[in-house]
Amino acid sequence: MDNQPQKSGYKKELYTREAKIDRFHRIAERRTNRILESLRLLGNTANKTLYFYTDEELNKIFKAIEEKVLEIKGKFKTSKQKEQFKL
DSSP character string of 11-54? -GGGGSHHHHHHHHHHHHHHHHHHHHHHHHHHHHTT-TTT----
Q: Where are the domains of the chain?
A: 15-44, 47-76
68 three-class SS: helix
Give per-residue pLDDT as tens, 60-70: 999 999 999 99
With a CB cutoff of 8 Å and minimum separation 6, the contacts of 23 are 14
pTM above 0.75, yes or no: no
Give per-residue pLDDT as tens, 5-61: 556 677 788 889 999 999 999 999 999 999 999 999 999 999 999 999 999 999 999
